[in-house]
Structure 1
Amino acid sequence: MDTSAAEATSAQMVGGESKAGGSYFDGKTFEVYVQGSFWVRRKRLLSIDTAKQLLVLRRPLAHNLNPTELHFADVYTANLSERTILVHGRQRDISMRFKADADVDQVYRSLRAMIGSAHDGVTLGSRFAIAQQLFREADKDRTGTLSLQEVADLMKKMNQKVDRSNIVEIFTKADKDENQRIDEDEFMSIYKQIAKRKTVLLKLFLEYAKLRHPQVMKQAELESFLINEQKLAESKAKQQSTEIIKMYGEGKVIDVDGFLEFLQSGRNFGAAAEMNGEPMDMSRPLCDYFIASSHNTYLEGNQLTGSVSADSYVNAVQAGARCVEIDLWEDDEGEPTVTHGRTLTGEMHFADVVKAYGSRKLLFGKSPYPLILSFEDHMTAKSRQRMVEIMTESDEFHKMLAKPSDYPALDAVSPEQLREKILIKMKIKPGVPDELRKFIFLEGGKYKGSWEEALATRPLTCFSHDESRLEQFVEENESAELVRFNKVHFTRVYPAGMRIGSSNFDPSKAWLCGCQLVALNYQTKDKYYLINKTFFELNGSSGYILKIPRLLNMAALDTQTMVEVKVLYGQNINYFDSDIFVSVRATCCRGVSKHKIQRISDNGLSIAFPHALE
């Protein structure tokens, strides 16, 4: 495994001699401080942009694999609550364990960058890695070259219906040095030709590329493709097309290979059009938005014994949260503390949270829209008074607090009107001082079994339910009532108490019921955290997403929506397996439905899916 000479890596072998960057990782465990990129066959494979984080790299049982054969075309997973990242490769797994005091959200951002780099730098590399695998499987005599018969056998294995004369023609054309043998580089030309043969994407390329020789697409044509097919805003298409041609093209044009490489890269991410499109309307009432929300924000680990830290509040905001939870208790001296009550978790002073949030740049540097502090109050009147004193002692924090009295039409106040403001969500209990009441923007409430009573409460009243209660509403066909309630009120949904390990639940069902504050454990980077994070990367990662029209327009609440899913193309999917299909899961308030789209092609290298799914 080679590393770039300009990007140094230092490694120390655990229990053995030290080795420098670029060493062959031969089945041992290494502690590696990474300050650069790993490279495989001149293709960037993994990049870590966080300097000097401790990682552990392990080889799997197959110690005899050559490291230059590695590729990571399959799965990337992370469990940062355990401080580990696991990258599953077809040939080898790499696990990475970070220092206990590492900023997990910084690690997460590094992981995203790493995966993006892997997709951008290895997509074509992944295609060629599969070609390398095919070539070496076909090279029975281990000469590093293939005979005509070995090529014919390989194409049969790949389900390529090519007659003998065509195989001879393909072989002869690829045999550049005319030695009656094809080496690995020459085989690549055959592979690329097979992989793009008669594909939907090739036809799509030709629709935009004018009739010319050689077949290339100019920047204006690529811009048209990005606007018409990828739904990119015109203002973004020119910039994107320039970058795409620079990365995948040559000069001022891009050929079909570069076009296919781009389409299979991380730059062609499915939500890119939404992410790069026009910003959403932020002038609608606050209740009309989903808001990125963190549950038990103070915790760094599990719900029973995890440590707490003010850094967790900083990390949550940096990760995009616009609503954080603060569980308030009091110590023996009456000082407000933040902890998970009646557990063995740690605790910290409330003043530490205020100090951490005393920076306008931190809170609103990435998103200008309001940050909601969800207070869970378990204090006495004396401690509440002390809480007010702490908030007012910090001038910058105090200036950012929003007062409901400054916004007469409370049910119509928008995120745009509340730019760079802190909103307090809290139940008004006996003993809550007037100095605190005047800052309570979202008043906590409790659902008592009557939606009529619930709808009559003050605008921006917020009811909280755990995920089990939400399921009950859905099972009892009350999701429509919940949607109506959320037109002028708030609902916060949080993980059930049984999730001791700080795992997360699927937030999509709560969103489909119009619930604005779907709170997840941000310290656990599991599948549902990643779904949540990806969702809120829309609208410029502002932490606010405008609800879909069905949830905003009550007249359309009971109408059915037809969704068409069309799979254009598949490539490099288990080339010898004839039973290839795409499974589609559709989630709605009432459950999940599963569908299957069957393919109709003769090989896994170029797969066609002719029928759309409705």
Structure 2
Amino acid sequence: GFCLQQVCCLSVLMMAGSTLRKVKSRSWKKQRHFRLLEDGLTIWYKSRWAGKGHSTFSVMDVEAVREGHQSEVMLSIAEEFPAELCFTLVFHGRQGNLDLVADSPEEAQAWIQGVRKLIHKAQTMDEQERQDQWVRDWFQKADKNKDGKMNFKEVKKLLKMMNVEMNEDNALHLFTMADKCESGSLEIEQFVHFYQMLTQRDEVWKVFQDYSGDGERLTLEELETFLRLEQGEGDQSSQHAQQLIQRYEPSETAVKESSMSLEGFQMYLCSQEGSVFNPALLELQQDMNQPLSHYFISSSHNTYLLEDQLRGQSSLEAYIQALKRGCRCVEVDCWDGSDGEPVVYHGHTLTSKILFRDIISTLKEYAFKVSDFPVIVSLENHCGVEQQTVMATHLRQILGEMLLTAPLDGQIPHMLPSPQELRGKILLKAKKIGGLETHLDETLTDEVSDEDETANGDAESPSKSKLSRELSDLVVYCKSVHFHGFEHARSQAKCYEMSSFSESKAKKLAKDAGSEFIRCNARQLCRTYPSGLRTDSSNYNPQDMWNVGCQIVALNFQTAGLEMDLNDGRFRQNGCCGYVLKPDFMRDADSSFSPDRPEDRPGYKPARLSIQVISAQQLPKVNQKEGSIVDPLVRVEIYGVPQDQTKEETGHINNNGFNPVWNETLNFIVHSPELALVRFVVEDHDKTSRNDFIGQFTLPFTCIQPGYRHIHLLSKDGTAIPPSSVFVNVNVSELT
């Protein structure tokens, strides 16, 4: 016989892996990384540079291990490599030999003895779990009554001690799998198996092995090489490598040696810096000194609603939620109240009412908590002159200095001021008597056939209505006007005039005159809003409106789903400040860009996006049914100009939400990268009904970091669901 302990030591060394030279002839000698997989039966090897390819063979297929120069190939290189470094694996049947040269006699012996013992073990023993001394030590530490057993409760406590984040259902599932005798407790061998199942991230290990010379750690140089070749970091890779070691390496010894262990490497990959979203672009970093019309502005529709627009609750909370989410344009629907105080609700429906002045107080408190760039209050005014004047009084008294009541420099503007100049200001968007140029008498009849009212089916609104001078005077840069066509806008319109369009009208304009719409939106603001038929407060896709440069694309913030995911994705960059600079070709009043023909614009540079979906980690359970486990798939969706709207998905993996592995590559061509958003969605595959949503993450194409990245998933409501993530390898290149 032989000692089990010895097999363990050799196995551990072989599982850690070695770089050996594979020799095919005197001239063909290449380094390959070899290691024993966790099953103790499979040997895996690959070239450090051969991309994703690797080879494996089973120990069962090996007939014998020959030491020294015992094959034709080995004899041909005998002068170059001494016998004590050389060995040959001989396979059963017709497979060729594998001739290998180790770096040291000790390493050669370890593999020779190790493989021989494994062959012996494979022949004589049943499958035994690989022993992992470290886990055994923990087990012994935690086994207080020394009976060599642990129930689930004790195991949970031990995992907490070992700092393993785990999903309880999943851990219980693995515990049950490891508890072969169904005794309700694990013995040490079973626990080792359980722990390996729980924490194995083979796919991260493989990446680590590609760059680690010794399979144990990454030297500073190796880490730099990884950052340069895989993570797309050019010259800054050397200081960055040093910072990453300082930041993520748990072993003090490794930090002292400026190297990184597998554990540190995995921590880096799972961190914000290892995220698919370039962390530099999360900060406020765009030019904020351009006219307001040059930005996309995060905007809410029916902001007062928490639910649907027929019966829902009107609520101040809805304003707080929207503003906290970075919204910079809120809607207020005002009606005459019974006691002289204007109220806000969805007219002619059963939604509850809130006082106008309470909304303005809420606004004062929350407008600038998340961002200090201006907030636009879009007023849908159904009040008579008297209560309009009450509204004006509330606005002035409650908001004070925050309310913008006159042009910034007292001049008639030729272009809109910038977000920077308007920091901390609240702007009123409403109808105005005359323009900034004129001061007319007390009240005037002004046309009120503004798109907003007619489109919202408000038939009772008279076509002529009185405007209160006091309220009118508070409108400076956002005067609501009826749209009379692009020709009129080009020749007559002022930069502070703006129109609102229902989604169908905006879509039609975009389809018929996309380029004109873009040019108009370079100079003036424009607002779009969901069709009045969407009584369930559903949303339209904002991308169609962004494609033609509409800035104020109003969405029902209270309604979760794809459309809000896109909005969150668009505005997650630039410090979540609610303003994102439009691409340069949309800020030019003479732009010839057309979303239907992106290839016609000067400077057209399409991109190729390739995403290898490697694996996912700890996906949340969707179906609460007892014992149900997700069958996940990953879909990558592109939103952008019409040519860019596309999606690709992986296959699904049965019953694995903890660590499913796909290794599938999805490829895309993106014609207008500056406008595109990329949405990663994970779903639970269902043969008979619609797939269940598990999680998603959306980001602008321009914010993607290439390389090995984690995508930290968000729930349906856009909130984080740690530790759920998807591990990908992203490649972005110019289409040549």
Shorter-chain TM-score bucket reads: 0.5 to 0.7
Structure 1 residue 263: Cα displacement: 2.6
d(CA) in 2 for partners of 1:220, 1:421: 51
Do 1:487 and 1:552's aligned partners in 2 also have CA atoms closer than 8 Å?
yes
Secondary structure of the 1:270 match is coil
The answer to whether the aligner puts 1:183 opposite 2:175 as a matched pair is no
TM-score by length of 2: 0.52
**Cα drift, residue 331 of structure 1:** 2.0
Contact 2:250–2:263 (Cα < 8 Å) also in 1: no
Aligned to 2:8: none
Q: Does 1:559 align with 2:594?
A: no
CA positional deviation for 1:491: 1.9
Q: Is the 8 A contact 2:416 2:495 kept in 1?
A: no
2:262 & 2:295 partners in 1: Cα distance? 42
Alpha-carbon distance between aligned partners in 2 of 1:67 and 1:455, rounded to the nearest angstrom: 73
Give the drift of 1:327: 1.1
Residues 249-291 of structure 1: CA deviation (Å, up to 9, x unaligned):
9863542244235434676432243544561110111111111
RMSD: 4.7
Q: How many angstroms apart in 2 are the aligned matches of 1:232 and 1:423?
A: 44
Give the corresponding residue for 1:4: none
Give 3-state SS (helix, strand or coil) of 1:364's partner. Answer: coil
| Aligned counterparts of 1:68 and 1:497: Cα–Cα separation in 2 | 58
Q: Secondary structure at the match of 1:340?
A: coil
**Cα distance in 2, alignment partners of residues 69 and 427 from structure 1:** 67
In the TM superposition, 1:33-432 aligns within 5 A as 125=166, 137=177, 142=182, 182-186=189-193, 188-189=195-196, 195-196=202-203, 199=206, 201-202=207-208, 206=211, 211=213, 214-216=216-218, 221=223, 225=227, 229=231, 241=244, 244-245=247-248, 252=255, 254-264=260-270, 268-276=274-282, 279-359=285-365, 362-394=366-398, 396-404=399-407, 406=409, 408-428=412-432, 430=446, 431-432=466-467
Task: Name the CA distance, whole Å, in 2 between partners of 1:605 and 1:314.
Answer: 39
Deviation at 1:539, TM superposition (A): 0.6
| Cα gap change, 1:369 to 1:194, in 2 (>3 Å) | closer
* Cα distance change on mapping 1:379 and 1:596 into 2, 3 Å: closer
Question: Residue 613 of structure 1: SS of its match in structure 2?
Answer: strand
CA contact (8 A) 1:325 1:375 kept: yes
Q: CA–CA distance in 2 between the matches of 1:240 and 1:497?
A: 54
Indicate yes or no: 2:588 matched with 1:588: no
**Does structure 1 residue 540 correspond to structure 2 residue 575?**
yes
Q: 1:451 matched to which residue of 2? A: 486
AA in 2 matched with 1:270: V
Partner of 2:513: 478
Q: CA deviation at 1:585?
A: 2.6
Q: Could you tell me which amino acid in structure 2 is paired with residue 225 of structure 1? A: L
**How many angstroms apart in 2 are the aligned matches of 1:565 and 1:499?**
35
Counterpart for residue 174 of structure 1 = none
Change (3 A) 1:511 1:265: same
Structure 1 residues 38-85: Cα deviation after superposition (integer angstroms, max 9, x where no partner): xxxx9xxxxxxxxxxxxxxxxxxxxxxx89999xxxxxxxxxxxxxxx
Q: CA deviation at 1:550?
A: 3.9
Aligned to 1:487: 522
Specify the SS of the correspondent of 1:519: strand
How far apart, in 2, do the equivalents of 1:264 and 1:505 lie? 34
CA contact (8 A) 1:301 1:307 kept: yes
CA contact (8 A) 1:368 1:420 kept: yes
Q: Counterparts of 1:239 and 1:535 in 2: how far apart (Å)?
A: 32
Matched, 1:521 2:548: no
| Partner deviation per Cα, 1:214-250 (whole Å, 9 max, x = no partner) | 3135599579939982779979969983785167998
1:472-508 superposed Cα distances (whole Å, 9 cap, x missing partner)? 334x343332222211112212222232232333222
**Number of the residue aligned with 2:502:** 466
Is the partner of 1:463 in helix, strand or coil?
strand
Distance 1:452 1:213, change over 3 A: same
The Cα offsets for residues 312-347 of structure 1, whole Å up to 9 and x where unpaired, read as: 323322221111111122124443222211112222
Q: Deviations along 1:431-480, whole A, 9 cap, x unmatched?
A: 434443333121112334x3212333211322212223333334x34333
Paired with 2:222 and 2:417, the residues of 1 have a C-alpha distance of: 43
CA distance in 1, matches of 2:311, 2:299: 22
Aligned to 1:566, what secondary structure does the other structure show? strand
Greater RCO structure (CA 8 Å; 6+ sep): 1
Normalising to structure 1: TM-score of the pair?
0.61
- Kept after mapping to 2: 8 A contact 1:248/1:262: no
The alignment status of 1:613 with 2:673, answered yes or no, reads no
* C-alpha displacement of 1:541: 1.2
Instruction: Write the letter of the residue equivalent to 1:371.
Output: V
- The C-alpha deviation readout for 1:133-178, integer Å capped at 9, x for no partner, is 57855876547999xxxxxxxxxxxxxxxxxxxxxxxxxxxxxxxx
CA contact (8 A) 2:402 2:424 kept: no
Distance change >3 Å, CA 455–CA 241, structure 1 → 2: farther
SS for the counterpart of 2:386 is helix
3-state SS of 1:343 partner: coil
- 1:592: how far off? 6.5
592 and 364 in structure 1: CA distance in 2 versus 1, 3 angstrom threshold: same
Return closer, same or farther for 1:408/1:303 CA change in 2, 3 Å cut-off.
Answer: same
Match of 1:499 among 518, 523, 534: 534
Matched length: 453
Amino acid at match of 1:454: A
What 5-or-longer segments of structure 2 have no aligned partner? 1-137, 139-151, 157-162, 434-445, 447-465, 600-604, 619-630, 670-736
Amino acid at match of 2:311: T
Quote how far apart the aligned CAs of 1:510 are: 1.7
Q: Which residue of 2 aligns with 1:168?
A: none
Is the Cα contact below 8 Å between 1:384 and 1:432 reproduced in 2? Answer: yes
CA contact (8 A) 2:329 2:377 kept: yes
CA spacing shift, 1:197–1:398, aligned 2, 3 Å: closer
Q: Is the 8 A contact 1:321 1:543 kept in 2?
A: yes
CA spacing shift, 1:144–1:562, aligned 2, 3 Å = farther
Q: Classify 1:326/1:129 alpha carbon distance in 2 versus 1 (closer, same or farther; 3 Å).
A: closer
* Pair 67,536 (structure 1): closer, same or farther in 2 beyond 3 Å: farther
Query: Would the aligned equivalents of 1:135 and 1:187 in 2 still touch at CA under 8 Å?
Result: yes
Query: For the residues of structure 2 that align with 1:471 and 1:556, how far apart are their CA atoms?
Result: 17
Which residue identity lines up with residue 288 of structure 2 in the other structure? Answer: M
8 Å CA contact retained: 1:292, 1:518: yes
Identity percentage over the alignment?
26
Gaps of 5+ in 1: 1-41, 43-65, 71-120, 147-178
Quote the offset at 1:378 in angstroms: 1.3
Residue 533 of structure 1: how far off its partner (Å): 2.4
Task: Note the C-alpha offset of 1:610.
Answer: 6.0
Equivalent AA in structure 2 for residue 508 of structure 1: Q
Q: CA deviation at 1:398?
A: 4.4
User: 1:559 corresponds to which letter in structure 2?
Assistant: P
CA distance in 1, matches of 2:196, 2:390: 74
What CA distance in whole angstroms lies between the structure 1 residues aligned with 2:616 and 2:364?
A: 52
SS at match of 2:607: coil
